[in-house]
């Protein structure tokens, strides 16, 4: 930080998530500004009183000048372009992202030789809408915000990212990138895949089926209303982890099908499913305390705590 | 009906659905009473001021005396016992049910030689809770209530059942039993199966996955909180239709898996799923008019209208 200036945050990509980070950062007292590629996106943000521009050089020049924490909020396909720009204009700034997959982003960051100041992030929040218009400063209140504790992460940028997440109202889940990607394949990407498949079966029953549909179908297909391009941008970069989970899901569903066909029973599926949902309903986060960024073995200790459901609610 | 008495309704099984029918019927001015097998269930209903007894002979004797419409609200496994009792004590009463599957109930009714006065029914409403305590007179407000128009159904009992459904605040979807079972396999039973499978994958990711889970996982697994015995009682009697839909779901998911593995793309799945959810979001019921129960070909005409999304909102 430079002198007594407030911490600075520079958000690249002001859609639903990036836009909400910008709003939440400003609300928390940060000096914050942003970049958006599209002129309508820039105009919408400026109309709401936010400092957003389509001039990436100027936006990142200011970030370098102010030692801003740069938050990458562009979709995965635009990542390489944005990383090139960061490398050109602000290579020494602390850097994070809010993308739904972590290992491919980490690999890209290393390709662009930006690994030294990078700490991956992923706030677990969203809606089926998208764009600046859907953004809100309260999006992250009470949400989990995954922050990478991969080997090699430095304490200074890590603390900057964690503080921003906490100031946005979230709790911090420390996680290895690869473990994050496996977990979100299970609880975020698979729900999308199954919602699409369920919607297809419902509509396949025509007007009669859609007319009889009630709460279980409505809730089970809710995320199928998300734009296909957005679902693909979320799921496809996590193909390896998603394939593993999808294969296992096919095994579970095939076993249930065989059991229903051969023994008229769904006992095993329904009991395992009910137990699993009960695990979710009774899961409680617990507060990680006493592990300070930079302490001996802090990354491994935080990774272990996060794996067991621990979250950081405050920085000492 | 006997003289100027109000129409009478006798509900057998006062759990969530049967109990809600009893409450809604009383609220609508019917003379209504019920049977429950369990003494705690009886006590709970009586404590709320409802006329419920565990004496099936007395309950059905009164139904025979008052020409009551008998509503079977017991779970599928208890069906045969209850039908034996109806055959013994009130074989000439109009008879309906509120079970989630229609063809197996129809077959059972014929086995008990009660087909002449029977009209199958299925209100599309529920919660993940069960029992009298969860019942409410408003459960059916705005809901679809499927009513059978199978060949051989008589106009008089059909009209009694349809009037009760409308008086409970529902709209009537006329449907053939076999087509009903195929439709609910798609929009009610498959959602249960997929929710169980999703819950299993989420819990398989341990505390980390459950701690990162947000809205898509919560909504996609909601009905996995339903008691396994209840899910089985709903799904297993519809095994034939559910197997067909489950096989097709496995084909869709396998194709998506192959596409993701071989071409890194979920394009086909996400576009078809989004279109399907859009069909659901834009589906609008329309009012069937001008087909009177008992008119020439009324059953076939109603079946055809129901198939195209038509509902009955009032009886002429």
CB of A245 within 8 Å of a chain B CB? The answer is yes
CB of B61 within 8 Å of a chain A CB? The answer is no
% residues pLDDT > 90 (chain B): 93
Q: Half-sphere exposure of residue B135, counting CA atoms within 13 Å on the CB side?
A: 22
- B9, β-bridge pairs: B32, B69
Burial B230-242 (b: 16+ CB within 10 A, else e): bbbbbbbbbbbbb
Task: Please give the radius of gyration of chain A, using alpha carbons only, rounded to the nearest integer.
Answer: 21
Q: Rounded distance, CA A263 to CA A266, Å?
A: 9
- B96, β-bridge pairs: B71, B119
| Amino acid A126: pLDDT | 74
Neighbouring C-beta atoms of residue B207, cutoff 10 Å: 20
Nearest of A202, A223, A196 to residue B270 by alpha carbon: A196
Which residue among B200, B283, B285 places its CB closest to the CB of A252?
A: B200
* Residue linked to tokens 């059942």: B161
| Amino acid A3: pLDDT | 44
Helices A103-111 and A177-184, axial angle in degrees (round to 10): 140
Nearest of B316, B6, B16 to residue B166 by alpha carbon: B316
pLDDT-wise least confident of B10-19, B65-74, B128-137: B128-137
A:B CB pairs within 8 Å: 364
CB atoms B204 and A187 under 8 Å: no
CB atoms A188 and B214 under 8 Å: yes
CB atoms B124 and A308 under 8 Å: no
Q: Helix/strand/coil (H, E, C) string of A221-264?
A: CHHHHCCHHHHHHHHHHHHHHHHHHHHHHHHHHHHHHHHHHHHC
- A148, β-bridge pairs: A175
Q: Rounded distance, CA A97 to CA A114, Å?
A: 12
Which chain A residue has its CA at the smallest distance from B207's CA?
A309
| Amino acid B125: pLDDT | 87
Which B residues 197-236 touch A at CB under 8 Å?
197-228, 231-232, 235-236
Q: Rounded distance, CA A96 to CA A86, Å?
A: 11
Concatenated DSSP letters of A23-57: HHHHHTT-EEEEE-SSHHHHHHHHHTT--EES-HH
**Through-space distance between the first and last CA atoms of chain B, rounded to whole angstroms:** 18
Q: Rounded distance, CA A14 to CA A26, Å?
A: 13
CATH number listed for the domain at residues B181-282: 1.10.3660.10
Structure tokens at A17: 């998530």
CB atoms A187 and B277 under 8 Å: no
DSSP code, position A121: E
Q: Which residues of chain A have pLDDT under 50?
A: 1-4
Q: Half-sphere exposure of residue A156, counting CA atoms within 13 Å on the CB side?
A: 10
DSSP code, position A146: E
| Amino acid A4: pLDDT | 47
Q: Which positions in chain B touch A248 (Cβ < 8 Å)?
A: 201, 204
The CATH topology of domain B9-175+284-311 is Rossmann fold (3.40.50)
Concatenated DSSP letters of A259-307: HHHHHS--HHHHHHHHHHHHHHHH---EE--S--TTSTTHHHHHHHHHH
CB A174 within 8 A of CB A312: yes
Please name the residues in contact with B263: beta carbons below 8 A apart, sequence gap of 6 or more: none
Nearest of A109, A214, A94, A207 to residue A154 by alpha carbon: A94
Q: pLDDT category, B316, cuts 50, 70, 90?
A: confident
CB B144 within 8 A of CB B275: no
Which A residues 101-140 touch B at CB under 8 Å?
124-126
Q: Which positions in chain A touch B246 (Cβ < 8 Å)?
A: 253, 256-257, 260
Q: Going by DSSP bridges, is the β-strand pair A95-97/A52-53 parallel, antiparallel, or unpaired?
A: unpaired
- B70, β-bridge pairs: B10, B95
Q: Rounded distance, CA B260 to CA B288, Å?
A: 44
| Amino acid A41: pLDDT | 94
Q: Helix/strand/coil (H, E, C) string of chain B?
A: CCCCCCCEEEEECCCHHHHHHHHHHHHCCCEEEEECCCHHHHHHHHHCCCCEECCHHHHHHHHHHHCCEEEECCCHHHHHHHHHHHHHHCCCCCEEECCCCCHHHHHHHHHCCCHHHEECEEECCCCCCCCHHHCCCCCCCCCEEEEECCCCCCHHHHHHHHHHHHHCCCEEEEECHHHHHHHHHHHHHHHHHHHHHHHHHHHHCHHHHHHHCCHHHHHHCHHHHCCHHHHHHHHHHHHHHHHHHHHHHHHHHHHHHHHHHHHCCCHHHHHHHHHHHHHHHHCCCEECCCCCCCCCCHHHHHHHHHHCCEEECCCC
Q: Rounded distance, CA B184 to CA B186, Å?
A: 5
- B29 burial (CB, 10 Å; 0-12 / 13-18 / 19+) is exposed
Q: Rounded distance, CA A131 to CA A145, Å?
A: 20
CB of A240 within 8 Å of a chain B CB? The answer is no
Which B residues 255-284 touch A at CB under 8 Å?
256-257, 260-261, 264-267, 269-281, 283
Which residue among A183, A217, A311 places its CB closest to the CB of B205?
A: A183
* CA atoms B216, B217, B222, B224: torsion sign: positive
Q: The whole model's pTM is what?
A: 0.90
Backbone angles phi, psi at B173, to 5 degrees: -105, 110
- B276 burial (CB, 10 Å; 0-12 / 13-18 / 19+) is buried
Nearest of B222, B215, B243, B217 to residue A193 by alpha carbon: B217
Tens digit of pLDDT for each residue in B162-210?
999 999 999 999 999 999 999 999 999 999 999 999 999 999 999 999 9
For chain A, the domains span 9-175+284-311, 181-282
């Amino acid at each position: 930080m430079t002198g007594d200036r407030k911490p600075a945050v520079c958000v690249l990509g002001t859609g639903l998530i990036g836009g909400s980070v910008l709003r939440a950062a400003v609300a928390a007292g940060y000096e914050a500004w942003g970049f958006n590629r599209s002129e309508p996106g820039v105009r919408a943000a400026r109309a709401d009183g936010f400092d957003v521009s389509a001039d990436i050089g100027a936006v990142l020049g200011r970030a370098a000048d102010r030692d801003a924490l740069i938050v990458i909020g562009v979709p995965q396909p635009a990542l390489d372009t944005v990383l090139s720009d960061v490398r050109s204009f602000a290579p020494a700034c602390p850097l994070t992202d809010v993308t739904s997959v972590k290992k491919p982003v980490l690999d890209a960051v290393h390709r662009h030789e930006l690994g030294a100041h990078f700490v991956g992030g992923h706030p677990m929040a969203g809606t089926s809408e998208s764009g600046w218009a859907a953004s809100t400063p309260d999006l992250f209140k009470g949400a989990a915000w995954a922050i990478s504790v991969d080997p090699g992460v430095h304490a200074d940028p890590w603390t900057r990212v964690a503080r921003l997440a906490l100031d946005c109202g979230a709790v911090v889940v420390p996680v290895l990138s690869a473990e994050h990607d496996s977990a979100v394949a299970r609880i975020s990407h698979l729900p999308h895949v199954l919602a699409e498949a369920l919607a297809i079966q419902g509509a396949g029953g025509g007007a009669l089926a859609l007319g009889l549909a009630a709460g279980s179908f409505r809730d089970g297909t809710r995320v199928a209303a998300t734009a296909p391009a957005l679902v693909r941008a979320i799921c496809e970069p996590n193909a390896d982890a998603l394939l593993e989970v999808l294969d296992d899901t096919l095994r579970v569903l095939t076993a249930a099908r065989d059991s229903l066909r051969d023994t008229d029973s769904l006992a095993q599926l329904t009991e395992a499913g009910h137990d699993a949902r009960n695990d979710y309903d009774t899961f409680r986060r617990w507060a990680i305390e006493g592990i300070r960024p930079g302490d001996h073995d802090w990354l491994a200790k935080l990774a272990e705590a996060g794996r067991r459901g621990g979250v950081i609610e405050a920085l000492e």
